[in-house]
Every structure is written in structure tokens, then in C-alpha cells.
Structure 1
Amino acid sequence: MLVLSLAACDAAGTDRDGTGDASSASPSSSPSPTPTVDPAAYRQALDTALSPLDSSLRAVDRAREGGALNEALGRASAAATDAATALETARTPDDAVVENTGLASSLRDLSRSLDDARADRGRCATSPRVELGGAGSLTSVRDVGARLEALGYPVHLTLPRTEKPKHRRLGNGTMVKDSRRSGLGRLTIDNGTSSDAVVSLTRGKKPAFTVYVRKGTSATVRRVEDGSYTVYFTSGEDWNAAKKSFTRECSFQKFDDEAGFRTVSVTGGTQYTVLTFSLAKTVGGNATTTEVPADEFPS
């Protein structure tokens, strides 16, 4: 039988009887490591959290632009929020804590991007897929997903396809809409702004004509009939001819004063109205404008 005798020692390591040859022993112990989360369980949690979102994003890809796409984007936005909440409460292995937190944060950003893409932009014919293409949240989700993959935790998530911005324009002076004109009046539109513009003259709510004026140029419309007209204009980038609207950086305004055209007979001939409108704000200009709702712009 082995008997271990422990002697009390002072700081110098001698026994209390001063012989100095006593030895001491104490059991050594280290704390047991905190059990980590089973990686397989976390992989399952990832799949469970992301599967509904993956299905919603696939539906976004299949949806046609318009109401169907807006609805799909709304459902995907809600699914992204749900997935983020699930990941924030998931038990996570030590080596995946940082990336799991990053993925949850990126999914919340993605939810906002999906919702913004479907927002009603009135007559601004913005493409949701172009909007998504400019969203940094897609890149963030892709990057953090790749880092989780590298750690051995696959992220099964199909991000929606996007489109690059287009730069469609009409020729300067192109008539977007035109009724029969038989007057003598003349209107010149000087677009000294940094964006293309479309100018519409209306009587009541019905446009008499609508003309495209490229930035930095001017266009003249002849044979304007007598009458008082409200002058609207919209400016922006990328003209969608089918929807008769710019798709980016849209603004909608109207001149506060009406444009009046009048033809009268005078000695030796006929006198008619010639007007020039400048779309650029200038010091000393006498024509003021007001922002209008997109749906007020005449179609």
C-alpha cells in the first residue's frame, strides 16, 4: 500500500521541524473545457433557417416584372428577416460565432434591400433587378457565406439575379406624344441641366404634345396652337419608352405660370407667340417651378 504523507511547508519550502528535506505534493487539475456545439447540429440549424429564404429568393428569380415581382420581393424580404432572427438565436460552434453574427446582420440588410426594390416609385420606371444590383447587402451575404463554407458550414442560399443599369435615350427633339398641331406659336426648351428631360404641355389634364430634350441642348416645337398650357417636365436617366418614364434619378415638376400662345392679325401680317423656357435654374430667372407627385405628370 502506497501512503502519501503531506507535510505542511513554509514559503521557503522547509518542513516545520527544519530538516528541509520534506517534499510536498498536491493534486493538479485543470478546468474541463466548455463543451462546444456539435458542428452537425449547427449545419442543420443553418439549413433550417435559410431554406424558406432560399425558396423565396428562387421565386423572385421566376417572377415577371410588375405586380408579381413586387409580391415576390415582399415575401423574400420577410423571409430574410425571419432567417436573421433564427440565426441570432442559434447555438453556434466557437469557430463560427463571428461569421454567424455577420450573416444574420447581412440578412437584415438584404431584407431592407428587397423591400426598397419593390417600393412604389410612381411613374419612375425603376427596375427592381437593377436596384438590387446596386445593393451592397448581396455582396455582404455572398462574402460571409463563403467564409462559413470555408469553415465547413455550407450556406445553401440562391441569391437573386440582378441587372446592370441601362442608358436608353431618345434623340433630341423626339416627340414622345403629339397631337395635330396647326398653330403658328413656337416653343424653345433650353435644357442646361445635367439630366435629359421630357417636357409636356397640357390643356386641362390632356397633353397637347410631349418632347424629349437631351441634357445640354435645346429643342424647338413649332406650330403650337393658341391657348394657355400648363408646362410639366420630368428629368432623370435611362428612358423607358414603354412606360414613358425615366428609370433612375427621377424628378417631376411643373412651371407655376402657364404658357400662353396667341395669334393676332396686325398691319402688314400676323403676330404670334414665341416662347423660350429654360429648365436650369438661373439667377434672375422669372419662371418658378414646383415639385409635383409622379402620378400628376401627364401620360
Structure 2
Amino acid sequence: MVRYTSAHMTGGAAAGAGWTAAHRRRRTGRAGALGAAALALALPLAACSAGGGSEAPTGGSSSSAAGPAPSPSQAPTVDPAAYRHALTGALRPLDSALRTVDGAREGGALDKALDSAAGKAETAAEALETVAAPDNARSGTSQLATALRALGQDLRSARGSGGRCASSPRVELDTAHGPQSVKEAARALKALGYDTSLRLPRTERARHRRLANGTFVRDGSRGGLGRLTVNNGTSSDAVVTLTRGTRTAFSLYVRKGAKATVRSVNSGAYTVYFTTGEDWNGGKRSFTRGCSFEKFDDKANFRTVRVSGGTQYTVLTFTLNKVFGGNASTSTVPPGAFPS
């Protein structure tokens, strides 16, 4: 809930009461057949004589015994050199695409490079899923193929939205699981003597940029007597923007848990917008994480008038935190429609 109150002052002395506002936040093994070899054992046969003695068969005595059956043949192991060649062939296009990502400038060029690298990662994964690997590298090859699929998804997800409240793709990749999984699978294969030769793109740590409390993000001409105080009781920094028609009068940065005052507000009816979040990007005039964009449904009216014995002017206080019983409604604003 957001509360702000207005009071009229005569001769600089504040008087009157005000109004309140509601703030709503916004993933085979191969079964080897064991051939059963039948061992044929030929037993010598002896003919019995009438006298009960044994009699050798006519033509002399002979005995025969079968020799040992041949053992089942085993498939020859995959030649490590052939596997290395296949591994390099599967990964070379991806490595080239990742290097392009590494050198691309943020914006359209980086987004295009990310899309291309994502496709190359998925193609490499498909190749590794069918490649013949030595026995000791089968598990690592499968692990790498799975990691490459995850990398492809992360590369696509990291693309910048081009709008407000968008972290840098390099920041998004810094906390993604795909690149880390690729590193782990590559280390496992390298320990067996198989080099993956993949250079993952550089990433950036999340930033926490903030302006000083009370800084004007934008300030127009002010010459009235009106006064605005913003008390930010939320858990995020905020920027409050007042507009008249399509023109921005001023935008004020207020840190969480702090308050700031704008003096000399001109008379007029203003639409009051506010955005909250983390990490202020001055170039986009927006936070990059945890953003919300809202406005009050009712306008804020400032008046400065001459009266007998002095001047009356408006004093408003906005309290940007939930207030029980607030009666001024707010609406969510599309990020692209938020005034800059």
C-alpha cells in the first residue's frame, strides 16, 4: 500500500488533511550377449565280450576327446585417436561460435551470437550422443552431451530483452548451470586424456548500482511553492516520476528505508509513476532486477494561490509501503510505457 497526504499551507504554515493509496506489488548401457559355448565331450565306447570282458572294437582301439570350444569374441575397443578426432569435429563449430559470443558487444550483435551458439551447442550434443567412445570415456561423453544441451538453453535464455529491467546476458550466464556443467564434463574427459577444447564466453558478476538518496534522475523547470516528500518504506530502492501530459516534470531516486523531498513543485495535476527494484542502470533509466512499474490511478494536484494575507500551496507526502485501509488505487504499467 502507498500512502500520501496533502495539506494546504497559508503563509508557509501547513494545514489540511490528505489521502492514502494502495500499493500492489507486482532435463544404454549395451547389454552384451554372453554366448554359451557347448563343450562336446566324446566318451570312449567299449564293447562288452560274451565273457564279460571288455573287447576293443574291430579295427583297433581309439579314443577321442573334443578340444576346448572357442571363447566368445569381444568387440574391439574404440581407437582413442579416432574418438579424439570425432570429439574435435563435433566441438569445433561450437567453440568458434562461443568465441564470437565472447567478443560481441552487448545489444543486437550479442543476441545474434547467443542464438547461433545455442544452435551449435545442440548440434554438438546430437553428434556426441551417437559418437563411438572408448569404454572409459562413455560416461563422460554422455555427461558432456547433456551439459551441452543445457548450455544451449541457457544461451538462448540469456538474450537481452532490449527493454527495461533486463540484466546483461553476461550477468545471466554467470549464474546459469549449463556453463558450469560443461566445465565439469570437460574436466572429467581431460583427466582421461581427451581435450574438449571449448572456450566458454566471459561472464559478469551481478552489479548493485545505486544513486545517492534524493538524486534527481531527471529534473525539469520548477518554480512553484509545492512540496513533495517521498518516504520509501519498502525493501527496494525506488524512483518516483511525476508527469504532466506526456512531459516528465521530474524523477526522484529514493533509497529503501529513506525519505527525500522535492521543493518548488509547480502547480498542476500530475500523474504519479513509481518503479522499484535493484541495480540502477543509468543508461536505461531503470533497475535491472526485481522490477515493478506502477502508477496511481488518481492524479496528484498541486496548487499555489495567493490569498488574503499570504499564499496557499500544496504539500504532499508519499509513503511507499503497505498501509492498512489505503484508498488510492494503483495500476501496473508496461515497462515500455513507463516514462523515462
TM-score in same-fold range (> 0.5): yes
| Greater relative contact order structure (CA < 8 Å, 6+ sep) | 2
- Selected match of 2:334 from 279, 293, 296: 293
**1:81 aligned to which of 100, 110, 122:** 122
Instruction: State which drifts further: 47-56 or 22-31.
Output: 22-31
CA contact (8 A) 2:213 2:253 kept: yes
Q: CA deviation at 1:23?
A: 10
Shift of the 8–260 alpha-carbon distance from structure 1 to 2, 3 Å rule, reads: farther
Query: Of residues 71, 88, 96 in structure 2, which corresponds to 1:47?
Result: 88
TM-align CA RMSD: 2.3
1:218 Cα deviation after fit: 1.1
Q: 8 Å contact 1:125–1:243 — kept in the other structure? A: no
Contact 2:235/2:257 (CA < 8 Å) preserved in 1? yes
Which structure is higher in helix share? 1
Identity %: 60
Q: Deviations over 1:14-37 (max 9, x none)?
A: xxx9xxxx9976624432222332
Max radius of gyration: which structure? 2
Residues 145/62 of structure 1: CA separation in 2 closer, same or farther (3 Å cut): same
In the aligned structure 1, how far is the partner of 2:225 from the partner of 2:88?
A: 71
Q: TM-score, normalised by structure 1?
A: 0.88
Partner of 1:32: 73
- SS at the partner of 2:185? helix
- Aligned residue pairs: how many? 286
Give CA-to-partner distance per residue, 1:92-125, whole Å, 9 cap, x none.
2222222111111111111111111114151124
Query: Is residue 140 of structure 1 aligned with residue 181 of structure 2?
Result: yes
Mark the runs of 5 or more structure 2 residues left unpaired by the alignment. 1-39, 46-52, 54-62
- The aligned residue for residue 159 of structure 1 is 200
- Of the three residues 206, 229, 235, the one matched with 2:247 is 206
Equivalent position amino acid for 2:228 in 1: L
Matched, 1:177 2:206: no
1:263 to partner: Cα distance:
2.4
Matches of 1:236 and 1:44 in 2, distance apart? 50
The unaligned stretches of length 5 or more in structure 1 are: 10-16
2:169 equivalent to 1:128: yes
- 5 Å-filtered alignment, 1:162-241, equals 162-241=203-282
When normalised by structure 2's length, the TM-score is: 0.78
Distance, in Å, in 1 between the alignment partners of 2:221 and 2:100 is: 46
Distance 2:41 2:321 in 1: 100
Q: Does 1:245 align with 2:286?
A: yes
Distance 1:42 1:196 in 2: 55
Q: Is contact 2:44-2:64 (8 Å) kept?
A: no
d(CA) in 1 for partners of 2:337, 2:302: 23
